[in-house]
Chain A
Amino acid sequence: MSIEVRIPTILRTYTGGEKAVTAEGASLAALIDDLEANHPGIKERLIEDKNGADTLRRFVNVYINDEDVRFMGSLEAELSDGDQVVVLPAVAGGSN
């Protein structure tokens, strides 16, 4: 199983500057664990602990084949060989 993961500029410190890496996992959670095994520190930037459960960070967007994973079960979203995953930090802010 091989899944291409597109890495945003701000997280490329974890991938040795690579814009895309391959990883594997049958779910997004498993994929992120696999990423962490090869690129230590990256998981913490994607996931936070909320009431004892791993949750995708509010201002991190992850897409599987162009679909926002928040509409596909978030960390439980299923993955198949050849899927394309994109990670993009939200572009957000404001005066408050």
Chain B
Amino acid sequence: MAGAPTLACVLTIDQATYDAIVAHAKRDHPDECCGIVAGPEGSDRPERLVEMVNAAGSPTFYEFDSAELLDLYKQMWANDEEPVVVYHSHTATEAYPSRTDIGLASEPNAHYVLVSTRHWAEARDETGDGNNDAPIEFRSYSIVDGEVTEEEISVVPARPAP
């Protein structure tokens, strides 16, 4: 990696997709949720949200089911798509990649989105209100060869035209 400066990237994502990822994280809490947003190969445009089942069904681990993983990739290959965003939630810790996340990250071109439901869940447990306004952390990273770089996130009203 010598010589190549790390350039901060920006994840541009539309509001509806952003909201759907947050809703997925809340719905699956206290387990971690996971999924991807596919987009045309090389476009860096997250367009098609695919919610995946967490086959691990765990509050501290996620894994796509192996048969569903193959189906997903075959769909993307058929559509000339790639995973632009790979997302999952942390349900009791901050929205920062864990050592496990970093060690297993295998899409060097993807934006790894982490959502944390911890503050929302605390507020819900205190007030009984699942629609509370506690902040949901939503952060994005590139993870390449074990190196994590946080990215800016730009949430746009609708997907920008190609």
**Chain A contact residues, CB within 8 Å of chain B:** 8-10, 59, 61, 63, 66, 68, 70, 86, 88-96
Contact B100 A10, beta carbon cutoff 8 Å: no
B61 at the interface (CB under 8 A from A): yes
Q: Is A94 a contact of B106 with CB atoms below 8 Å?
A: no
On whether the beta carbons of B93 and A66 are closer than 8 Å, the reply is: no
| Option from A10, A70, A94 in Cβ contact (under 8 Å) with B61 | A94
In the complex, whether B60 has a CB less than 8 A from a CB of chain A is yes
Query: Are B64 and A91 within 8 A (Cβ)?
Result: yes
User: Residues 43-72 of chain B: 1 if any A CB is under 8 Å from the residue's CB, otherwise 0?
Assistant: 000000000100010111111101101100
Check A90–B100 contact: CB distance below 8 A: no
Not counting A9-B82, A90-B66, A93-B88, a sample of 16 additional A-B residue pairs whose C-beta atoms are within 8 angstroms of each other reads A8-B106, A10-B108, A61-B70, A86-B73, A88-B69, A89-B104, A91-B63, A92-B61, A92-B64, A93-B61, A93-B98, A94-B58, A94-B88, A94-B90, A95-B92, A96-B100
Q: Are B66 and A94 in contact (CB under 8 A)?
A: no
Interface size class of B (residues with CB under 8 A): 20 to 34
**Do B70 and A63 touch across chains, with their CB atoms under 8 A apart?**
yes
Instruction: Confirm or deny: B109 has a beta carbon within 8 angstroms of a beta carbon on chain A.
Output: yes
Chain A residues with Cβ below 8 Å from B100 are 92-96
Considering the chains assembled together, what is the distance between the CA atoms of A63 and B106 in angstroms? 17
List B residues at the A interface (Cβ < 8 Å): 32, 34, 36, 52, 56, 58-64, 66-67, 69-70, 73, 82, 86, 88, 90-93, 97-98, 100-101, 104-109
Cα distance A63–B74 when bound, in Å?
A: 12
A89: which of B36, B58, B62, B106 is its contact (CB, 8 Å)?
A: B106
* Total A-B Cβ pairs within 8 A: 83
Contacting residues, chain A, for B59 (C-beta < 8 A): 95
State whether A96 touches B69 (Cβ < 8 A).
no
Shortest CB-to-CB span from B65 to chain A, Å, is: 10
Shortest beta-carbon distance from B48 to chain A in Å: 16
Bound together, the chains give a CA A24 to CA B137 distance in angstroms of 48
A94, closest chain B residue (CB): B61
For A10, the closest partner residue in chain B by CB is B106
Q: B69 touching A61 by the CB < 8 A rule?
A: yes
Give which listed residue, A66, A88, A93, contacts B101 with CB less than 8 A: A93
